[in-house]
Structure 1
Amino acid sequence: MQKQAFRPLPRNFESMLMKSYITTPIYYVNGSPHIGHAFTSIMADILKRNREALGYEMMLSTGVDEHGQKNQEAAEALDMPVTDYLDMRCKEFRDVFEKIGVEFDYFVRTSREGHKTAVAEMEQRIFDKGLIVKKQYTGTYCKGCEEFKKESDLTEDGQCPLHPTIKVEQTDETNYFLKMEPFREKLLKHIDENPDFIQPEPFKNELKKMLAEPLEDLCISRPKTRVTLGVDLPFDPDFVTYVWFDALANYLTNIGWPDDGYQDWWAECEHMIGKDILKPHGVYWPLMLMAADLPLPKKLSVHSHWVGAGGVKMSKSIGNVVDPIEVMDKLGVDALRWYLARHMRADSDSQISVDLITQAYNSELGNKIGNLLSRVAKFSNKNFDGKVPMPGALTAEDEALRRTVVEATKAFAGWINLQDIPAATQQIVEAAVAMNEYIDQQAPWSLFKNEETRERCATVLYVTLDCQRILFEALTQVIPGSATRALGMLNAPKAATPWAPELDKLAGGTELGEIDALFPRVQ
């Protein structure tokens, strides 16, 4: 599938009811937030800010999955009451998301009574249709995934590829199972008829492979003799709901299902996930919805993973794990947000380390974007009475730069998909390079020395400052803190909604704000 073009906003947007509902996975609380959690949530936040700039009414949900065997055992390992443990971990995740600038509208806790009631309602509906059966099962169980595995799911040495350090167990127990095979062909048809349902294309192909053979029934319960932390089955109180069934339902319970009124949000729902949870979201969840006679979400946007420098998988024993808190303490939140947005490949794993983030911060944000603002704004402040200079006649070089900046930022004036973010931010870098080349060639510092070229100096400075305003308006969708600070230094007017890169909105004679280093160099 070709890369989807940026979708322009309809001019009659004011008369349209436009919604966009973006979800992240809900994260297990058996460990602290890591770079994977930060990445998915930051990308969701960027897409939310993009939609808001276009005039959409937004809903962004993120949060924590508090149920399941791993969370239960984590609380026991710390000798904490489970409710205290869940409260502690929930606060930790929420604090991190707020620190990385994720403006979520709903924070999920699966321990919420309304969620648990709705999960039971979904199970009862499916059970009443005869699609859930009770039977004895013998199989291989991965505690890391909290699911049963087929032999084909395991490595040559019989371990789960996602959790090679956790020994799989042979389990023989009675459970409840959802019949999935009756819906497999229907799901394949839906994928074929809705080309954008799974993005990008390689993950669509992977999902279709998962659906190529008949599906086994999905175990949707765990006996309370093994797991107690979960939603009771409404038709058998000796069992709790399988943690994935419980967790996936949050996407509906967040917007009020089963009560009426959720439909408008659900029709515009986009799930953002990592590739390791493609099967639960691409197979289990759609088939659960079909079994409950509910419509499928609009889109499933999938991303790859981060690995250490040199392509080595991150590991605490190797010492190449990137802690988002450590990065923010050293470089600030926008250094982290920028690197994650700029350097993730669309459909393959990408490298990350504190050194790589520092290099990108110093080179791209510092040298190319931040330093130019500091140089030009300080020179204008000093030599033009603290104001934006008044421009004179524009030259071909001025117009060429203005066209370059408008074209480079146009992506942020249209609908951006997850896989488009790296290319959109790369265009920002290229525009910044063009501005630096322009200012070096025009040399306003030399023009100012002669009375007859001072008007030309003012024009060059104005063109640069106005182009920087456009650049930072676009960047409010990616690095909102720094971009907003930069616009404050320019005393730029509030941008219109829907946003578009419009020239000459920074009036000559505008008082400049206090100018300081936007991205101080870090060693």
Structure 2
Amino acid sequence: MPSDPFYITTAISYPNGRPHIGHAYEAIAADAIARFQRMQGREVRFQTGTDEHGLKMVQTARERGVEVADLAREMSDQFQAMCDALNVSYDNFQRTTDPAHHRASVAIWEAMKASGDLYLDRYEGWYSVRDEAYYEEKELTEGEGGAKLSPQGTPVEWTVEESWFFKLSKYEKPLLELYANQPDFIRPESRRNEVVRFVEGGLRDLSMSRTSFDWGVKVPGSPDHVMYVWVDALTNYLTGLGYPDATPDMAKFWPASLHLIGKDIVRFHAVYWPAFLMSAGIALPKQVFGHGFLLARDGAKMSKSAGNVVDPMALAERYGVDAFRYFLLREVSFGSDGTWSEEAIVARCNAELANSFGNLAQRVLSMVASNLGGKIPVLQGLSLADRREAANDHDRRHATLGTGFLCDSLRAAHEYREAFASLDWQRAFNAWLKVVFQANSYVDETSPWKLKATDPDLMASVLAHLMIVLHDLAIMLRPIAPTACDRLLDAIGIPEAERDFGSIDDMEWYDRLLSSGQFIAKPTPIFPRLELPAEDPA
């Protein structure tokens, strides 16, 4: 398994409103990746946080009649509470109002200036307050009443002010060379193609400061200017590692392994950010992945203005955190847009978690508890070497005792790990579910409860095979549904130190379990069936 350190980040959330299901989707996806990599044996650093500067925050605070710093603190606390409620295992929650972040932002600004890439001039152009982004005339569309809109459909306004500029045009060729030499720098491929076309269309120098408000990081030497919010925001990935100091974390985890972001901010991460880093003499991240949106049932993008924003904590409380996590990652092909509904949550989780995997766990552990008095069943007819050889060579010599089924599950675990590592989650889920369905069929075909009187040794061996596969399935699902899978592994008696992917290849854990004196108690359901809430008669 890989042993090199792994650094994953989410986009830091803009807290001018409460967190919604889209924020939850990205946080849960990043968490699943972080947990998967830890279970691969890697040392992982996982960072998320909040992006608290910019004009939108100023306007929202003014509308609410509160100080902008108080709004930032209140909303940031809500985003951190969301991560905690959804079992997101971040190592650092980075706020851009932290003094350490101010220091890091100033340091990268000064490094870019030292490279000769910053100059003072006058900015005239279209600016979207909602996107905190500048747009060229050719990118705009016409909205209702002739209003000009950004590519994201947000209003833009003509802005004229003195500004510091970054020589983005200087980096057009280096960026195109980056995309050509590292085709996986931007994923999925559709996002990469969009970025390449944008840069090939020519890059203009980028306005890097504002003078019309003062909520942000002040430009060093120009106290009337605050840094463009994206300079400040993107630098958070370095702040969390101790930049500009040469800290052990900087040495170990930078460059970042993966920036996980929404598709609407790919340009900032795949064009502006690498250009800033090139200018500052800092190594580039290894990959930027732009995932799709979770859309409402009618396919509309969720937004506060449309009134279709959903509270993720309410859904997690109603259906359970693990079921909610499973649904979000299972329902949508990662990288694409997808729709969701409460009916879809109930249907998907009942079919695959409650009726299939949960039912399998309940049946197997109940049979061990009732037919063997809770004693761990003795495995016959298969060694670790046999299982590996059969899995690799598609050997079926031991199929009479169900070992062909065990070898299928080992192959599926390998496919799952390969697919998950490449973020092809639908293939990973399909590999996992195939074994779940096979295991349930194996129970039906062998009817181990009938073997108790006629062939108790064969019954024990069948149950041993099922225990092993149940362990493997729980390990595979653990990055997505950690609490439920840990409850199942607790019931089996697997120590915390052995709950990684290496244990699937190492069947020696089963011998240790046999010698531990572990007993299987009567189980309780790990994935109860879900029900839609009753309609309000009013």
Looking at structure 1, the residues matched to 101 and 405 of structure 2 have their Cα atoms a distance apart, in angstroms, of 53
1:357 to 2:342 alignment:
no
Give the match for residue 467 of structure 1. Answer: 469
Which whole-Å CA distance do the structure 2 matches of 1:303 and 1:29 have between them? 20
Answering whether residue 343 of structure 2 is matched by residue 343 of structure 1, we say no
Instruction: Name the residue aligned to 2:408.
Output: 404
Alignment of 1:176-187 (within 5 A): 176-187=164-175
Shift in Å, 1:65: 0.6
Change (3 A) 1:467 1:376: same
Distance 2:528 2:351 in 1: 11
Match of 2:498 in 1: 495
Deviation at 1:309, TM superposition (A): 2.5
Equivalent position to 1:323, from 311, 315, 333: 311
Alpha-carbon offset, residue 140 of structure 1: 1.7
The answer on 1:477 being equivalent to 2:463 is: no
CA contact (8 A) 1:21 1:60 kept: yes
Deviates more, 1:149-158 or 1:97-106: 149-158
The separation in 1 between residues aligned to 2:170 and 2:86, in whole angstroms, is 43
Is the partner of 2:120 in helix, strand or coil? strand
Whether the 8 Å contact between 2:9 and 2:259 is mirrored in structure 1 is yes
Q: Is the 8 A contact 1:410 1:500 kept in 2?
A: no
Alpha-carbon distance in structure 2 between the residues aligned to 1:430 and 1:161: 45
Partner Cα distance (1:387, 1:483) in 2: 21
Q: Percent identity?
A: 33
1:47/1:151 CA distance change after superposition, 3 Å: same
Instruction: Supply the AA of the counterpart residue of 1:65.
Output: D
1:328 and 1:162, CA in 2 relative to 1: closer, same or farther beyond 3 A? farther
Match of 2:535 in 1: none
1:486 to 480, 485, 488: 488
2:296 matched to 1:308? yes
Counterpart of 1:153? 139
Cα distance in 2 between the residues matched to 1:320 and 1:499: 43
TM-fit CA distance, 1:323: 2.7
Q: In structure 2, what is the Cα distance between the partners aligned to 1:119 and 1:492?
A: 46
Cα deviation code 1:393-435 (max 9, x no counterpart): 4751511211121122224555844632232122111110111
> Is residue 2:447 matched to residue 1:443?
yes
Q: Residue 179 of structure 1 contacts residue 218 of structure 1 at CA under 8 Å; is this kept in 2?
A: yes
Counterpart mapping for 1:18-97 below 5 A: 18-97=4-83
Matched letter for residue 118 of structure 1: A
Q: How many residues align?
A: 504
SS in 2 for 1:27: coil
CA contact (8 A) 1:181 1:214 kept: yes
* 1:501 partner SS: helix
Give TM-score scaled by structure 2 length.
0.89
- Corresponding residue SS for 1:311: coil
Match of 1:299 in 2: 287
Q: 1:369 aligns with which of 339, 349, 357?
A: 357
What is the Cα deviation at residue 338 of structure 1? 0.7
SS at match of 2:520: coil
Instruction: Verify the 8 A CA contact 1:54 1:414 in the aligned structure 2.
Output: no
Counterpart of 2:111? 125
* Superposed displacement of residue 389, structure 1: 2.5
Deviates more, 1:378-387 or 1:429-438: 378-387
Distance 1:296-1:259 versus aligned 2 partners, 3 A rule: same
Corresponding residue of 1:4: none
Aligned residue in 1 for 2:126: 140
Q: Is the 1:410–1:501 Cα contact (8 Å) retained in structure 2?
A: no
RMSD across aligned positions (CA): 2.1
Which is worse superposed, 409-418 or 185-194? 409-418
- What SS does structure 2 have at the residue aligned with 1:419? coil
Structure showing greater relative contact order (alpha-carbon pairs closer than 8 Å, 6 or more residues apart)? 1
Deviations 1:162-209 (A, max 9, x none): 654x53212222211111111110111111111221122221111101
1:297 Cα deviation (Å)?
Answer: 1.0
Contact 1:369–1:432 (8 Å) recurs in 2: yes
Q: Which moved more, 1:31-40 or 1:381-390?
A: 381-390
Question: Residues 313 and 90 of structure 1: is their aligned pair in 2 closer, same or farther, counting only changes over 3 Å?
Answer: closer
Q: Is the 8 A contact 2:121 2:164 kept in 1?
A: yes
Relative distance call for 1:418 and 1:358 in structure 2 (3 A) is: farther
1:104–1:347 CA distance, 2 compared to 1 (3 A): closer
Shift of 1:272: 0.8
Which residue does 2:458 correspond to in 1? 456
For 2:109 and 2:303, how far apart are their aligned partners in 1?
Answer: 38
Contact 2:416–2:429 (Cα < 8 Å) also in 1: no
Separation in 2, partners of 1:266, 1:309: 40
Instruction: Look up the equivalent residue of 1:371 and give its one-letter code.
Output: N
2:431 aligned to which of 427, 433, 438: 427
Which one-letter code corresponds to 1:422 in the other structure?
Q
Residues 349-371 of structure 1, C-alpha deviations (whole Å, 9 max, x = no match): 11212221121111111111001
Q: CA deviation at 1:437?
A: 0.9
For structure 1, which segment, 404-413 or 209-218, has the greater mean C-alpha deviation from structure 2 after superposition? 404-413
8 Å contact from structure 2 (residues 476, 501) kept in 1: no
Q: Distance in 2 between matches of 1:393 and 1:238?
A: 78
